[in-house]
């Protein structure tokens, strides 16, 4: 009998979440068996379907229900018929906020066997991590509508940048860079156009840099930074960004490395007071849901990040290596990577590589 057992809350969510998460679970179980630990999963049906039936994405005491788990493994949120802001603010955002998952860590790497859509780019050129502030910034409910339906109609939306929230995400990025070879942090800003929050972000970035003198830095406005992601992905090591900018950069990064279908994310509570949440970067993809064509690699890589966070670094590394071995064979790639494999077949290839 294995001594180590992890209890994971599983929220497949909507659309392709229900197709890729089981693949991630199977691969995590396979590597767990090899490394002598066990995983106990508990399913939660929190989703847009549940919203349609009950008027809530999750029960009122949902956060309390998952607080005692070792981690949360989530698929995707959103489905036509439920406004996107309703589904997001009914599930993912309360989880991020109430579990204080303030660091959203999104690695971007050109995996072995993959080619970047950018001609001439090799694995050595694309290996960086987007660190996204995850609980404040532009994702704020402060604001509202006035004079609704009249010709004076007005809408406002406030961005919130607290000193504590800004400093802790910047420090997280610098501390992460300190563990990496290149020891470099890039800040995403827009302090020429956004005159209060972004100059403040720059100020706090300079202060964080002074606290971490061994880490080299760069800073770009978000518009030119997106161009540099495409033309010079080799410039980046750790990229730290506000909630919205980080969300955009962490879709663009994986596209440069092949496909958003491979992109993993860890929503971390670095103090470990609460369980952290692991989710692929991609959404529910209603256009391909139910067809068994979704790429499960993001869910598998996400599971590897979860195992690493749980202290199973060797198993996590083995799972990541199995992903790369599987992807080296064009026959196991899903259609977003130019292949013809279906979701299950791609997962089977990872399992075979693990065997």
> What is the Cα–Cα distance from 256 to 18, expressed in whole angstroms?
26
Distance, CA of 113 to CA of 133 (rounded, Å)? 31
Closest to ligand GGG by CB, 76 or 215: 76
**DSSP-assigned letter for residue 59:** -
As a whole number of angstroms, the distance between CA 95 and CA 67 comes to 10
Query: Packing angle between helix 343-354 and helix 297-309, nearest 10 degrees?
Result: 40
Q: Residue 48 or 215: which CB sits closer to ligand GGG?
A: 48
Sign of CA dihedral 321, 323, 328, 329: positive
Q: Which stretch binds ligand GGG (CB under 6 A): 73-81, 153-161, 200-208, 229-237?
A: 73-81
> Applying CB under 6 A, which of residues 11, 76, 131, 263 lies at the interface with ligand GGG?
76
From 62-70, 276-284, 306-314, 339-347, span contacting ligand GGG (CB under 6 A): 276-284
Part of the chain binding ligand GGG (CB under 6 A), chosen from 74-82, 140-148, 170-178, 312-320: 74-82
Q: Under the criterion CB under 6 A, does residue 99 sit at the interface with ligand GGG?
A: no
Nearer to ligand GGG, 197 or 250 (CB): 250
Which of 248, 239, 227, 258 shows the shortest CA–CA distance to 333? 258
Query: Which CB, 247 or 320, lies closer to ligand GGG?
Result: 247
| Positions 52 through 71 that interact with ligand GGG (CB under 6 A) | none
Q: Which stretch binds ligand GGG (CB under 6 A): 32-40, 41-49, 280-288, 321-329?
A: 280-288
Nearer to ligand GGG, 96 or 333 (CB): 96
Query: For residues 82 and 88, which CB has a smaller minimum distance to ligand GGG in the complex?
Result: 88
- Residues that contact ligand GGG, how many (by CB under 6 A): 10
Are 324 and 258 in contact by the 8 Å Cβ rule? The answer is no
Q: How far is the CB of 298 from ligand GGG (least distance, A)?
A: 8
Q: Which two tokens stand for residue 15?
A: 């659309």
CB of 323 to ligand GGG, least distance (A): 18
CA distances from 247 to 138, 251, 252 (A): 11, 7, 9
CB of 251 within 8 A of CB of 298?
no
DSSP string of 126-195?
A: -EEEEEEE-SSBT----EEEESTTSTT-EEEE--B--HHHHHHHHHHHHHHHHTSSS-EEEEEE-TTTST
- On whether the CB atoms of residues 351 and 31 are closer than 8 A, the answer is no
With residue 286 as reference, give the H or E element that holds it: none
The residue behind tokens 């599930």 is 91
Site string for ligand GGG, 79-98 (x = CB under 6 A): ---------x----------
Q: Which is nearer to ligand GGG, 113 or 261 (CB)?
A: 261
Rg (CA), the chain: 20
Of 126 and 263, CB closest to ligand GGG: 263
Instruction: Return the number of the residue (259 or 284) whose C-beta is nearest ligand GGG.
Output: 284
Is residue 133 at the binding interface for ligand GGG, with CB under 6 A as the rule? no
The side-by-side arrangement of strands in the sheet containing 103-109 is: 37-43, 4-13, 71-76, 276-280, 264-268, 103-109, 127-133, 238-241, 184-189, 216-221
| x-marked contacts with ligand GGG along 232-271 as a string, rule CB under 6 A | ---------------x------------------------
Question: Which residue in the set 280, 319, 327, 333 belongs to the binding site for ligand GGG (CB under 6 A)?
Answer: 280
Beta carbon of residue 280, minimum distance to ligand GGG (angstroms, whole number): 5
Whole-number minimum distance, CB 322 to ligand GGG, in Å?
22
Q: Which residues bind ligand GGG (CB under 6 A)?
A: 76-78, 88, 247, 279-280, 282-284
């Amino acid at each position: 009998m294995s001594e180590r057992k992890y209890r994971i809350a599983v929220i497949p969510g909507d659309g392709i979440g229900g197709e890729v998460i089981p693949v991630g679970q199977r691969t995590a179980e396979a590597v767990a068996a090899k490394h002598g630990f066990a995983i106990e999963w508990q399913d939660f049906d929190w989703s847009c379907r549940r919203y349609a039936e009950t008027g809530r994405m999750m029960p009122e005491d949902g956060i309390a229900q998952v607080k005692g788990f070792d981690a949360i493994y989530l698929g995707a949120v959103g489905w036509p018929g439920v406004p996107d802001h309703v589904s997001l603010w009914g599930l993912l955002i309360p989880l991020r906020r109430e579990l204080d998952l303030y660091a959203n860590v999104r690695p971007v790497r050109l995996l072995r066997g993959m080619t970047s859509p950018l001609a001439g780019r090799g694995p050595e050129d694309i290996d960086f991590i987007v660190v996204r502030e995850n609980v404040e910034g532009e994702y704020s409910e402060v604001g509202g509508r006035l004079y609704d339906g009249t010709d004076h109609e007005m809408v406002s939306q406030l961005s919130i940048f607290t000193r504590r929230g800004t400093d802790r995400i910047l420090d997280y990025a610098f501390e992460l860079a300190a563990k990496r070879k290149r020891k470099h942090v890039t800040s995403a800003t827009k302090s020429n156009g956004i005159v209060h929050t972004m100059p403040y972000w720059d100020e706090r970035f300079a202060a964080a840099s002074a606290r971490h003198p061994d880490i080299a830095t760069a800073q770009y406005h978000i518009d030119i930074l997106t161009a540099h992601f495409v033309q010079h992905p080799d410039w980046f090591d750790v990229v730290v960004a506000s909630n919205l900018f980080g969300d955009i950069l962490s879709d663009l990064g994986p596209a440069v490395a092949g496909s958003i279908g491979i992109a993993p994310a860890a929503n971390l509570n670095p103090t470990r007071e609460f369980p952290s949440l692991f989710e692929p970067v991609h959404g529910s993809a209603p256009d391909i849901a139910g067809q068994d064509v979704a790429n499960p690699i993001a869910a598998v890589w996400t599971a590897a990040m979860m195992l690493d966070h749980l202290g199973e670094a060797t198993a996590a590394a083995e799972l990541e290596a199995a992903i790369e071995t599987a992807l080296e064979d064009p026959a196991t790639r899903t259609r977003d990577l130019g292949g013809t494999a279906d979701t299950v077949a791609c997962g089977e290839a990872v399992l075979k590589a693990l065997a």
